[in-house]
Chain A
Amino acid sequence: MAVPGPIPWDLPSVTRQSADGHEIEFARLFEEYSAPIHNYVLRMVGDPDRAADITQDTFIKAYRKLDTVTEATSTRSWLYRIATNTAIDDMRRRRMVTPMGEDAPAFANQPDHRPGPEAQVMAATLDERVQRALLHLRPNHRQCLLLSDLDDMSAQQIGEVMGLSYAAVRTLLCRARGEMRRALSAEGFAR
Chain B
Amino acid sequence: MTMDRHEPFEELISASLAGDLTPTERDRLDTHLDSCSQCRTTLAAFADQRRIMSGLRHVGPPRDLGARVRTGIERGRFATVPWWRRPAVMFAGVGGSLAAVAGALLAIVLLNGTPSDPEVGQATPEPSATITQPSQTPRPSLPPISTQAPDASPSETAAPPSLAPSPSAEPTAVPEPDVVMAVTGPVEDLAYAVVVDGTIEEEVVPIEETTGDDVDEPMSPSGPPITAELSPDGQWLAFITEIGQRGVNDVWATRIAGAPEPTDPDASPPPDSSIEVGDTVHLGESVAGSPFLERMTWSSDGRYLAYTLADPETDEADADAWMFEPSEGEPRRLTDVGNAYAASWVPGSAGTSLLWLSMAGEEPMSYLVGFHDDASRVDEPFNPADDAIAEAEGVFQPLLSPNGSLAIFWRGRMSAELDRGWIFVEDGAPYLAEHPMDGEPEASFEDERKLFSDLPTAGPLFSSAAITWGLDGDAYAVWDASWTGDGTDDENPYPDATRVYFGHATDSRGLTRQHAIDREDIDPEMAVVDVEVAPTGGHLLVTARERQGGSRDAPRAEVRLVTRNVGDVADEVEIVDIGEDGWVGPAVFRNDTVPEWDPALAP
Contacts and interface: CB of A to CB of B under 8 A. Distances in A.
Interface stretch (B213-221, B282-290, B482-490): B213-221
A44 interface: no
B554 to A, nearest CB: 6
Contact of A48 (B54, B59, B63): B59
Contact of B53 (A130, A163, A174, A178): A130
B10 A53 contact: no
Contacts of B44: 191
A136 interface: no
B448 to A, nearest CB: 43
A42 B59 contact: yes
B600 interface: no
Query: Which of B52, B61, B245 has the largest number of chain A CB atoms within 10 A?
Result: B61
A99 B552 CA distance: 7
Interface stretch (A6-14, A105-113, A116-124): A6-14
B56 A96 contact: no
A154 to B, nearest CB: 6
A5 B63 CA distance: 11
B80 interface: yes
Interface string A124-161: 00110011000000000000011011101011000000
Contacts of B66: 7-10, 30, 34
Contacts of A65: 213, 215
A1 B56 contact: yes
A5 B61 CA distance: 10
Chain B contact surface mostly: loop
Interface in B12-41: 13-15, 17-20, 41
Given A30-B69, A84-B218, A96 B14 contact: no
B43 to A, nearest CB: 11
B68 interface: yes
A126 B56 CA distance: 9
A144 B318 CA distance: 34
Given A35-B60, A54-B80, A88-B218, A97 B244 contact: yes
Given A12-B70, A85-B218, A150-B54, A52 B552 contact: no
B173 interface: no
A64 to B, nearest CB: 8
Interface string B52-92: 11111111111101111110111001111100000000000
B10 A96 contact: no
B57 A1 contact: yes
A162 to B, nearest CB: 8
A64 B215 CA distance: 12
A57 B244 contact: no
A61 interface: yes
B79 A56 contact: yes
B525 interface: no
Given A154-B18, A173-B15, A174-B14, A7 B61 contact: yes
A56 B552 contact: no
Given A4-B59, A30-B69, A68-B213, A155 B80 contact: no
Interface in A72-102: 78, 81-82, 84-86, 88-90, 92-93, 95-99
A42 B56 CA distance: 12
A149 B244 contact: no
A97 B552 contact: yes
B61 A170 contact: no
B215 A177 contact: no
A59 B78 CA distance: 10
Contacts of A78: 215
B68 to A, nearest CB: 5
Query: Which of B44, B52, B72, B244 has the largest number of chain A CB atoms within 10 A?
Result: B52
A70 interface: no
B557 interface: no
B79 A34 contact: no
A97 B215 contact: no
B547 interface: no
Contacts of A149: 49-50, 53-54
A97 B554 contact: yes
A124 to B, nearest CB: 13
A136 B299 CA distance: 47
B24 to A, nearest CB: 15
A6 to B, nearest CB: 10
B594 interface: no
B79 A191 contact: no
Contact of A1 (B46, B58, B62, B63): B58
Contacts of A145: 53
Contacts of A55: 61, 65
Contact of A93 (B10, B72, B188): B188
Given A96-B244, A191-B44, A177 B49 contact: yes
Contact of B18 (A39, A148, A163): A148
A95 B244 contact: yes
B45 interface: yes
Given A97-B552, A173-B14, A181 B69 contact: no
Contacts of A170: 11, 14-15, 20
A127 B49 contact: no
A166 B170 CA distance: 69
Interface in A153-191: 154-155, 163, 170-171, 173-174, 177-178, 180-181, 184, 189, 191
Contacts of A126: 52
Contacts of B188: 89, 92-93, 96
A64 B15 CA distance: 35
A35 B548 CA distance: 39
Nearest to A87: B218
B109 to A, nearest CB: 38
16 contacts: A1-B55, A4-B61, A5-B60, A38-B65, A54-B79, A55-B61, A78-B215, A86-B80, A93-B187, A93-B222, A96-B187, A96-B243, A97-B552, A155-B18, A174-B15, A191-B41
Interface of A: 1-5, 7-10, 12, 30, 34-36, 38-39, 42-43, 48, 51-57, 59-61, 63-65, 68, 78, 81-82, 84-86, 88-90, 92-93, 95-99, 126-127, 130-131, 145-146, 148-150, 152, 154-155, 163, 170-171, 173-174, 177-178, 180-181, 184, 189, 191
Q: Which 10 A-B pairs have the closest CB atoms?
A: A4-B60, A96-B244, A149-B53, A53-B79, A38-B61, A174-B14, A191-B45, A174-B11, A60-B72, A56-B79
Given A56-B68, A97-B187, A155-B18, 12 more contacts: A52-B62, A56-B65, A60-B73, A84-B218, A85-B215, A96-B188, A127-B57, A154-B19, A163-B218, A177-B10, A181-B46, A189-B52
Interface of B: 10-11, 13-15, 17-20, 41, 44-46, 48-50, 52-63, 65-70, 72-74, 77-81, 186-188, 213-218, 220, 222-223, 243-245, 552, 554
